[in-house]
Amino acid sequence: MSILLFCSLSLFVGTMADRYWLMRAGEATNRLDRLGDRLKALISIGFGQKRLLYETGPGWMHVGIFAGFLVVSLRTITLIGRGYDAHFNLPFFDGPVGLAYAVVKDSFALILLAALAYAAIRRLVTRPSRLHLSAEANLILLWIASLIVSDLLGDAAMMRLEPGSHEEGYAWVSTALVGVFSGSETATVQTWFNVMFWYHNIAVLAFLNFLPFGKHFHVLTALPAVFLARLTPSASLEKMEFEGMETFGVGKLEDFNWRRFLDMYTCTECGRCTDMCPADVTGKPLSPRAIIVDERDSAYAMADHLTAVGKLKGAGKTTEAAALIEAFERPSLIGDVNDEEAIWACTTCGYCQTHCPVMIDHIPNIIDQRRHLVMMEAKVPTVLQGALKGLENNSNPWNVSAAGREDWIGELDVPRMRDKGQADYLLFVGCAGSYDSRNVEVMKALVSLLNEADVDYAVLGTEEGCCGDPARRVGHEYLFQMQAPQNIATFQKYKVGKVVTACPHCFNMIANEYPDFGLEEVEVIHHSELLSELVDQGKLKLKGGEKTKVTFHDSCYLGRHNDIYEAPRKVLNAVDGLEMVEMERHGREGFCCGAGGGRMFMEEDIGSRINHNRIDEAAETGADEVCTACPFCLTMLGDAIKETERSDTLKARDIAEVMLENLER
């Protein structure tokens, strides 16, 4: 046993050291802050498998394998100990605790075998499209099953050799298997016991050494990856420091931080990220899984180089590491490893991140590469150049005069902050509400509702600038950091305490990203939340209208990224006569409109259109209207209705417009 442990563990430690130094080739980042939150995530998402439980069949299957493996692993430790003492037990396992464990262990052994059988059927018979069929996966299933069978048969043989064993009857599956050896010679049973004992221990240690060389490395890295995950909101991006920097974004693997390498190690290739990726579903060259897997394969192909870089960085020799990186010839990260079209296809909808069971960050990975393309190589899609020019010159992607930002108000009674000085709420109108003719109507409806409810609010008018979302999502961090401080300074000038906005992109930016740039103690509220609150308070009373069937489209930046699902539905349900019907993909599973990540200002010329896919689903509900609470979504859905020739049967409206139409004045 000593020889077996020494050889296997020495090999394992050597392999893990290589993986560690390769990971250290990445840039430094702090992932040991907020230990309490990290422990909560480890318990709920790591051990509790929270994200897998959203999916009834395959999710519970994986939970069964994970829980069963954890429970049975204690038996493996016991068997290794019995390589030194035939009657070894873990501390406290000689009494009632050990007997209780025997019951639980055998029960979980059956659960584990059932889960493995289910997994095998999925891979070999039903074959869901998201799975990559591989010999390695089938081997792992057989390997784990053999470990369980060897343990159960080994225990059964032991009970046959030692009648009256204290675990007999408690280890109920093994007790039932004792009959397998009925009538066998003692020597034969002893041979069975020896073979099962040594097979189990050798197979476990071989399994341990096999894991770092395949996709099942996640068995070892998943829990550390969850503990070391990014804890900021899912849609927020890391602040980029420009001072003293010579390169921006990620143009080579060494530009990633070390946590991104851990993402590569931890990817299970389960396909959940790609399953409902709007770009992948509509035929774009983007697969979130492929991004991670291809980067991992590239890292392994460069393992010797990255390990050397990691050791230099670990020793503090950054100059030598930089020289080694510069001298090394490798395939380009963007172009050879990752398709450049794939990098631009992402809508940043967040489906991949929020469904990944091991908390891999796909969006920051992609945005970091966009930053390199935009700020280092000046590679900007032609269709984006006008929007970026407009942001730079007029602080709006429509490139309309900044002086016209409050033209939408017209004759409406809308107070300006420059006149009032202060207000309970700053209404942050946003670029769409100011300049896009369709969304101007939404903003007019919203201010009419606020006036009716006698809400104390004001707008910034010409003092307002773009929140910066389009610039930041397409990778132009420098342009974003020119815009954000101007809005923050204006907020501080008027001592703004509460911001309400009808745009989820503005909401996310001000609530989750502006704090990195100095915005403090400002509560950000989406208009659906405020309208819902005003209904509850009786300040807005809704009357019944004509019988209308409506379906609600969840904005990715409102729902998935900021967990606001109920407020807009509550507003619609408050209107008598409206019949709410849900699309198949709604709530957490909602499908993107195609406008996020700067795609609002880009063309779709590959595959089918994302907004067409979504409006087809809305039409299938039989709804008369598709409602939303996002200006980008409203534009995309409205365009899709026209382009699919459904204008006579379906229309798109914001919840504020529905409320105003049904308002009891």
- Tens of pLDDT along 495-550? 999 999 999 999 999 999 999 999 999 999 999 999 999 999 999 999 877 889 99
Stretch 172-191: mean pLDDT: 94
Pairing of strands 425-428, 498-501: parallel
Specify the residue for token string 């005003």. 534
pLDDT exceeds 80 at position 266: yes
Residue 33, token pair as written in the block:
């802050």
Measuring CA to CA, which residue among 145, 164, 165, 177 is closest to residue 68? 145
**655 touches 531 (CB < 8 A):** yes
**582 touches 665 (CB < 8 A):** no
CATH for 541-661 is 3.40.50
Share of the chain above pLDDT 70, in %: 100
> Phi, psi (5° rounding) for residue 275?
-50, -45
**636 touches 595 (CB < 8 A):** yes
How far apart (Å, rounded) are the C-alpha atoms in residues 517 and 484? 8
Specify the residue for token string 């172009």. 335
CA distances from 168 to 163, 173, 181, 370, 398 (A): 8, 10, 15, 62, 77
H-state helical runs in 267-350:
272-275, 278-281, 288-301, 303-314, 318-327, 340-345
Measuring CA to CA, which residue among 323, 267, 274 is closest to residue 295? 267
**Angle at the Cα of 438 (from 435 to 441), degrees rounded to 5?**
90
Q: One fold for both 382-534 and 541-661?
A: yes
Point out the least confidently predicted range of 134-138, 186-190, 384-388, 389-393.
134-138
DSSP string, 8-46: HHHHHHHHHHHHHHHHTTSBP----S-HHHHHHHIIIII
In terms of CATH architecture, what is 382-534? 3-Layer(aba) Sandwich (3.40)
Per-residue HEC secondary structure of 266-290 comes to HCCCCCHHHHCCHHHHCCCCCCHHH
What mean pLDDT is reported for the chain? 95
pLDDT exceeds 80 at position 463: yes
CB environment 502-516: b (16+ within 10 A), e (fewer):
bbbbbbbbbbbbbee
- Tens of pLDDT along 384-395? 999 999 999 999
3-state secondary structure of 662: coil
pLDDT exceeds 80 at position 341: yes
> Phi, psi (5° rounding) for residue 468?
105, -5
Which strands sit side by side in the sheet containing 625-628, from one edge to the other? 578-580, 548-552, 625-628, 651-654
Helix (H) or strand (E) holding 634: helix 631-643
- Tens of pLDDT along 139-175? 999 999 999 999 999 999 999 998 888 888 999 999 9
**309 touches 324 (CB < 8 A):** yes
pLDDT of residue 497: 97
628 DSSP β-pair partners = 654
H-state helical runs in 166-277:
172-177, 186-210, 218-227, 258-266, 272-275
pLDDT of residue 51: 92
Confidence of residue 132 (pLDDT cuts 50, 70, 90): confident
Number of H helices, E strands in the chain: 29, 8
pLDDT exceeds 90 at position 183: no
- Please name the residues in contact with 580: beta carbons below 8 A apart, sequence gap of 6 or more: 550, 551, 552, 569, 572, 573
Measuring CA to CA, which residue among 414, 412, 431 is closest to residue 423? 414
pLDDT of residue 204: 97
Q: Contacts by 377-385 with C-beta closer than 8 Å and gap 24+?
A: 377/251, 379/340, 380/474, 380/476, 381/344, 381/602, 383/601, 383/602, 383/603, 384/474, 384/598, 384/601, 384/602
Pairing of strands 625-628, 548-552: parallel
Sign, CA torsion 50/53/59/60:
positive
Confidence of residue 54 (pLDDT cuts 50, 70, 90): confident
Residue 481, token pair as written in the block:
């950091």
**354 touches 234 (CB < 8 A):** yes
Confidence of residue 133 (pLDDT cuts 50, 70, 90): confident
How far apart (Å, rounded) are the C-alpha atoms in residues 340 and 501? 34
Q: Write down the pTM of the prediction.
A: 0.93
Domain ranges of the chain: 32-217, 253-375, 382-534, 541-661
Helix (H) or strand (E) holding 501: strand 498-501
Specify the residue for token string 């897998």. 52
DSSP string, 64-98: HHHHHHHHHHHHHHHHHHTTT-TT---TTTTSHHH
Which amino acid is present at 139?
A: L
3-state secondary structure of 537: coil
